[in-house]
Structure 1
Amino acid sequence: MKKRSAVAGLALALVAGSAFAADLPSRKAPLIEPPPPVFAWTGLYGGVNIGYGFGNGDRDPGVLAYYAVGNAIALPNGTAWRISNDLNGVLGGGQVGYNYQFNPWLVVGLEADIQATDIHSQGNGVGAGSYALGVHTSYATQNKSVDWFGTVRGRVGVTFPSMPNILVYGTGGLAYGGVVSSFNISDYYPTIAAGGSGGVLGAGTNYDQTKVGWTAGGGVEWFPLISNPLFKAFSVKLEYLYTDLGSTTLYGSSIGSIPTGGPAFAYQQTSHTRWNTVRVGVNWHFNPFAAAPVLAKY
């Protein structure tokens, strides 16, 4: 009888303890939220740009020299001129690149871009000189355009602790582009022999080739809406570049005269291809190498 009473008392105590525990408030482990991600420039990006190119006010030199008058050898007399070559026009294209942020203030990267352009120039020059039988006047014209160009550049930039979303950078590297040029010259001479009548000589050359050179400049890039979930990956930039694709020298000779039997000449025309670019652009930044976020479960 005593054993039964003891067992019944123990069961009653267990039931009461369970009921009391059920009435206590539940306690769960606190939810620890991960810290917000730290802004960094590291990652791939791509975007578009538009701008304007303008030249340095170049004046390209040329020279003409006579080598024959009729069937006689002429003295190497001639003339010289300079033609305005002030390239200018609208340009636009796209760019891709990669940035790596080494520390809170240093960012290095590599960028490549390709541009379609309306950069062109048109000019003329006049020269007066002499040849074996008297004076003459040369009229030279030049049309030039850069139909497209591209660059592959390194970038080195700095940020500021109080403004980590602004990057001030310098850039430089390889440049290449399609250069098209046409040159024509007409030379007016008074006589082809003593007491004879005058005439005109003509010549011309066309040039279309991909040129390789260099470019350098700098700019500012900014994430204006870094706190906006929809636009935080977009940056805007303002950039300046100086591009030099070298010079081209064209050679040619007269192809005939009016009337026939007039003097003959050879010419040389040197033209520079260099210009300044100011452009604005928009980049979208992404980093496919980033690890997926880890979500804690409780």
Structure 2
Amino acid sequence: MFKTIALASALVLSASVSAMAADAVYEVPAAPVAVDAPAFTWAGAYAGVQGGAGWLDGTFGLAGVGSATQDFDGGIVGGFVGYNWQFSNGFVAGIEGDLDYNFNEESALGTDIGTDWSGSVRGRVGYAFDRALVYGAAGWTATNGYVKNSALGIDENEVFNGWTVGAGVDFAVTDNMFLRGEYRYNDFGDKDIVPGLNVDLDQSVVKVGLGVKF
């Protein structure tokens, strides 16, 4: 009798363990589905700061006398804002504006000559190699030229308008921050800054920048 009870108990225990094992296998959670991280995009608004060096050449023509040239080289510091559209084939188009201050004043015979602020509005076209954006840009540019001589009572300013063209590389170090390197050529045109003195200005610029993409 004891053997019969023991055998029945063993059968019941075995069935219970088998049922629990079956339930354990059945309740194993499914493996998580891999989700691809979203691809980086240059689309959207951005803003940043920039600085570098400019090599400004001035040609001065004095009516009835002749002409002479002078270099106005110096540092540049400023900022930029813009907006990009990125297409599925990797091409990027955008528009950008910037405003800089030039430190390029030259003095001779008590007369100070130079340019202070400059700015531009440019269209940009480029190609994105993931986090690297190679681009070319062109558009309108302007700068404020001045001549000052306190002894002669001269304090004249003229805004020169012209065109700009250049190229550069933006590289995203994070999803929202990028570094920039750029070369630009500015042709500011010519004007009579004082009666009889015509001034023609053009400039080569190298800049580096730090931007934030929103």
* Bin for the TM-score computed over the shorter chain: 0.7 to 0.9
Matched-pair contact (CA < 8 Å) for 1:46–1:95 = yes
Matched-pair contact (CA < 8 Å) for 1:88–1:119 = yes
Aligned to 2:60: 60
**Letter of the structure 2 residue corresponding to residue 273 of structure 1:** L
**Letter of the structure 2 residue corresponding to residue 216 of structure 1:** V
Write the deviation string for residues 48-79 of structure 1: whole angstroms up to 9, x where unpaired. Answer: 111111024x4311135xxxxxxxxxxxxxxx
C-alpha displacement at 1:21, in angstroms? 5.6
Give TM-score, length-normalised by structure 1.
0.58
Cα RMSD, aligned residues only: 2.9
Aligned to 1:156: 125
**Letter of the structure 1 residue corresponding to residue 187 of structure 2:** D
Change in Cα spacing, 1:217 to 1:274, as seen in structure 2 (3 Å) is same
- Name the CA distance, whole Å, in 2 between partners of 1:166 and 1:123: 45
Out of 103, 112, 135, the position equivalent to 1:143 is: 112
Matched-pair contact (CA < 8 Å) for 1:216–1:242 = yes
Change in Cα spacing, 1:285 to 1:164, as seen in structure 2 (3 Å) is same
Aligned to 1:249: 192
Runs of 4+ in 1 over 4 A off after TM superposition: 202-205
Matched-pair contact (CA < 8 Å) for 1:106–1:157 = yes
Matched-pair contact (CA < 8 Å) for 2:59–2:201 = no
| Structure 1 residues 115-154: aligned runs within 5 Å | 115-122=100-107, 143-154=112-123
Aligned to 1:285: 213
Aligned to 1:44: 45
**Letter of the structure 1 residue corresponding to residue 145 of structure 2:** V
- Name the CA distance, whole Å, in 2 between partners of 1:108 and 1:23: 60
Q: Which ranges of structure 2 fall in alignment gaps of 5 or more residues?
A: 1-14
| Structure 1 residues 139-288: aligned runs within 5 Å | 143-159=112-128, 163-182=129-148, 205-223=154-172, 225=173, 231-250=174-193, 252=195, 268-286=196-214
**Letter of the structure 2 residue corresponding to residue 215 of structure 1:** T
Give TM-score, length-normalised by structure 2.
0.78
Report how many residues are paired: 198
The structure carrying a bigger helix percent of its residues is: 2
Q: Percent identity?
A: 28
- Name the CA distance, whole Å, in 1 between partners of 2:102 and 2:136: 23
Whose radius of gyration is greater, 1 or 2? 1
